[in-house]
A and B are shown apart, each in its own frame.
Chain A
Amino acid sequence: MKRDRNYKILALKIAAPVIAMILAALISSLIILAIDKNPLQVFYTMFKFSFSRLDSIAIIFFNATPLIFSALAVSIGFKMGLFNIGIEGQYLIGTFLAALVGFSLKGLPAAIHLPLVIMAGIAGGMLWSFIPIFLKVKRGVHEVISTIMLNYVAYSLIHYLIADVFKDKQQSLVEGLGSVLVRTPKLAESALIPKMHGFLSIFGIQLPKHVYLNWFFPIGILLAVGIYYLVSYTPFGYELRAVGHNPEASKIAGIKPDIVYLKGFLLSGAVAGLVGLSDLLGYFKYMDMDFPQGYGFDGIAVALIAQNNPFGIIASAMLFGFLKRGSEGIQALLKVPMDTIVILQSLMIIFIVVITKIINDYVKRLEKKEAA
């Protein structure tokens, strides 16, 4: 009988994202109907556009890459009961430090330069996550507020560094523009991440040039696996979860919650430092003020849908990657605004948190009844 119940709980846990997706799709359908389009056709087009060609699938993987890192970073925070809403700032600082190492060091072999650049990104993320966790542990400042504030400090700081300190003055003047573009110098070739084209061609998969899928994608997957093992099977991961669920009992058991918070948040920041690198080292090759923002918040969404499971994160990051690709498709082919999909995504988040909460409460009541 108890075994039955365990299956029931598992089924309910899986059901949550599915129900959320269906509800979100239903409401989105109403929106699509309201603009005189056919929802079925829209969804069909999304799938067809996304999956009928290999390069399109590769683009989905490329889209998913930063989200995997971002959601993993968020999930580490959630595991210990902390909300790292500062991924946004952490990855901007990380990306900038990586760019700095990338354009200021010259003449290094790629085997040295690229790891250095990646380490700079990690260091940047850790630096920007150290401030809020230090303030929390030492002064009791709530991490949500401090990380939001630090996001904006990071925006301004990066703006200053790019526009005033490290602006690339070597660029040729753009026609009609009075000055050079506000961006950093280009990164050295040795700092860039190789694309996966060569590797994939071994298997007969030929990707066109306009696809930017690079090695950060497999790195992200490996990292997810690593974090899964770290959280589930190492003493540190064990402490992370114990402190997340019950800091008092953990403390009495001899674990120091503050140390766990510190280490865990730095780890979260380190992962966050990698979020922007696929774009920086695999696509733009310089950093400017229009460097993509919002991965931090999307990462929260991805982690929530995956319920903080690293493998679930890979899947839901792919889902978001697909939604982005699909939204480009429906805009191009059907003239349905791609923002329909942004609405769908946000509805999905709202539904998933409400549904999981209801399910969890229900399961708890079920268990209470059984224990009694």
Chain B
Amino acid sequence: MEEAVVLKNITKRFPGIVANDRVNLQIQKGEIHAIVGENGAGKSTLMKILAGLYQPDEGEIYIFGKKEKIASPNKAIELKIGMVHQHFMLIDRFTVLENIILGAEKKKGIAIDKKTCRQTIKKLLDLYNFNLDLDAKLEDISVGHAQRVEIIKVLYRGADILVLDEPTAVLAPQEVDELFVNLRRLKEEGKTIIFISHKLDEVLNIADNITVLRRGKAVGTVSADSVTKEELAKMMVGKPVLMKLDKAAAEKSDVKLSLHNIVMKGNGGKNSLNGVSLEVCGGEIYGIVGVEGNGQKELAEAVIGLRQDYQGDIKVCGKPIHGLSIKQIRDSGVAFIPEDRHRQGLVLPMKVWENSILGFHRKDKFKKGMFINIKKAEEFTLNNVKEFSIMISSIHQEIEGLSGGNQQKVILSRELSQEPEVILAAQPTRGLDIGAMEFVHRQLLQKRQEGKAILLISADLEEVLSLSDRIGVIFDGEIVAEFAPEEKTLEDIGVYMLGAHRKAGESA
């Protein structure tokens, strides 16, 4: 059989990480080939290389047997590679038709030959049995239809190889079914489909062959018929190297953070939080795991007070916090380590010492009359720098110039130094190197030792397993299972995360 795509030893480095490490991949013409892996395994990077958005640092690409250099998105289109991005590249205020033809309009003089365009698209729709209203505005159609627009868009440009980046992440179950019908139809017509996902059920359902990526490396390609979900999960997660952490037994005290039946509306009528209840005691780390987009973000936002549009009770040290301002919630003893440190945690153009007091800049200890007591703030920062071994040239340096690990340490030192009772840590080690990661872990354990309650939300299963005293699996805005880390195998957790044993989880 002819090979549509062959990647040889593709390597792509970004500052501080190797996103793809000598990846080899062979994709047959006319197959649906899934690429699976955890968040950050390097799937999207690999596909962006194929789409001409990134250039690999090393390695070779062969398209239909010919060695090619995909220098731009245009070149990819020329090679008949079409990318369906996870975040749609569509224009809300355009009609479906306009979105499809944009950049590849058929012309009559200077005007768009809408009739010919329409005919061409109609033919495609008929051929693949797609259903789309070409004159609807994009902002008025459903996400599932918008995705169909993206697919037709690349077909309209003559794509033979379709790359779909996490196409089901945004879809409702019925829409996923429809998508799969469409994809199978495309396959019948001889198209090659590359399907990126981390949802194993779906992958097993749709793909012919599956390649697993882990930490930038391709760990193997298997046929979908010959592999079970459990085996796949194992390949994906790898052998959990439970880090040797000095996890001394901590004394569990009273409940310091409690959530009772939190319900929050999400987009499209679905609830993003669907009755979440949990309790975190002092001296305990409660880890929340789950596939991204199952309500983790909303949960954190409710606790810190960024979102107030929920029902249910959240209590910090016994006091309800619903309706309190963010500042009041923080003052009541909640520290927050946000998941996106650049957007949510730091003010990049400001100095290190200024970032070190962000949110506490009105505290009495940093006050001198009506002014900020700069000397105190500097002393405080220097103290943090020493205690957290933050590598900087000066506390007057803009924080922009620091490495990710050091930036995270600034946030950590700021949040932890205020003697919080509850620590809400969202993806606290995302994008950090091993050294910085271990440091963050030690700090969290230290706080646990000191009797603080820690709610840890992380996509990194190993991290949650090695740090937590208890684990809650979140799926579809619900905690579907709760257990101690040693009670369940990795496979079990994976199954809960995928929502398969939902009923069982509820009874657990």
Contact = CB atoms under 8 A, between A and B. Distances in A.
A and B touch in the complex (CB under 8 A): yes
Interface of A: 2-3, 6, 229, 233-235, 238-239, 241-242, 245-246, 248-256, 364, 367-368, 370-372
B336 interface: yes
B345 A238 contact: no
Interface centre among B306, B331, B347 (most CB of A within 10 A): B347
A371 B403 contact: yes
Given A234-B371, A235-B362, 4 more contacts: A238-B354, A245-B348, A251-B306, A253-B359
Contacts of A249: 338, 343-347, 358
Contact of B343 (A248, A253, A364): A248
B401 A233 contact: no
A233 B375 CA distance: 11
Contact of B347 (A234, A245, A371): A245
A3 B359 contact: no
B304 A367 contact: no
B298 to A, nearest CB: 15
Interface of B: 15-16, 304, 306, 325-327, 330-331, 336, 338, 343-350, 354, 358-359, 361-362, 367, 370-372, 374, 393-394, 397-398, 400-404
A371 B359 contact: no
A241 B327 CA distance: 18
Contacts of B393: 2-3, 6
A3 B398 CA distance: 12
B344 A252 contact: yes
Contacts of B397: 2, 6
B354 A371 contact: no
A371 B401 contact: yes
Contacts of A367: 398, 400-401
B16 A372 contact: yes
A241 B16 contact: no
Contacts of A238: 354, 361, 372
A245 B349 contact: yes
Nearest to A369: B15
Contact of A255 (B350, B359, B400, B402): B359
B326 A234 contact: no
B347 A254 contact: no
Contacts of B371: 229, 233-234
Contacts of B359: 252-255
A245 B362 contact: no
Contacts of B401: 2, 367, 370-371
17 contacts: A2-B393, A2-B394, A6-B393, A234-B371, A235-B361, A242-B347, A245-B347, A248-B343, A248-B344, A249-B345, A249-B358, A251-B306, A252-B338, A254-B330, A255-B359, A364-B400, A371-B404
A242 B403 contact: no
Nearest to A237: B372
Contacts of B336: 252
Q: Which 4 A-B pairs have the closest CB atoms?
A: A372-B15, A253-B359, A254-B327, A2-B393
Nearest to A366: B401
Given A234-B372, A251-B326, A256-B325, A239 B361 contact: yes
Contacts of A372: 15-16
A2 to B, nearest CB: 4
A112 B68 CA distance: 83
Contacts of B326: 251-254
Contact of B358 (A2, A242, A371): A242
Contacts of A246: 343, 346-348
A241 B350 contact: yes
B327 to A, nearest CB: 3
Contacts of A364: 400
A248 B345 CA distance: 9
Nearest to A243: B347
Nearest to A370: B401
A48 to B, nearest CB: 42
A180 to B, nearest CB: 50
A371 B343 contact: no
A371 B346 CA distance: 16
A371 B374 contact: no
Contacts of A250: 347, 358
Given A2-B393, A371-B403, A234 B358 contact: no
A323 to B, nearest CB: 31
B410 to A, nearest CB: 12
A372 B16 CA distance: 6
A51 B503 CA distance: 88
Contact of A371 (B304, B327, B370, B402): B402
A286 B362 CA distance: 45
Contacts of B348: 245-246
Contacts of A234: 370-372
A367 B362 CA distance: 30
A245 B330 contact: no
A75 B359 CA distance: 24
Contact of B372 (A2, A233, A254, A368): A233
A368 B404 CA distance: 11
A254 B403 CA distance: 25
Contacts of A3: 393-394
A7 to B, nearest CB: 12
A352 to B, nearest CB: 19
Contacts of A252: 304, 306, 326, 336, 338, 344-345, 359
B325 A371 contact: no
Contacts of B330: 253-254
B377 to A, nearest CB: 10
A248 B367 CA distance: 24
Contacts of A253: 326, 330, 358-359
Contacts of A254: 325-327, 330-331, 359
A105 B304 CA distance: 54
Interface centre among B327, B330, B336, B401 (most CB of A within 10 A): B401
A6 B374 CA distance: 21
Contacts of B304: 252
A234 B377 CA distance: 12
A252 B297 CA distance: 14
Given A235-B362, A252-B306, A242 B350 contact: yes
Given A252-B306, A371-B402, A245 B350 contact: yes
A246 to B, nearest CB: 5
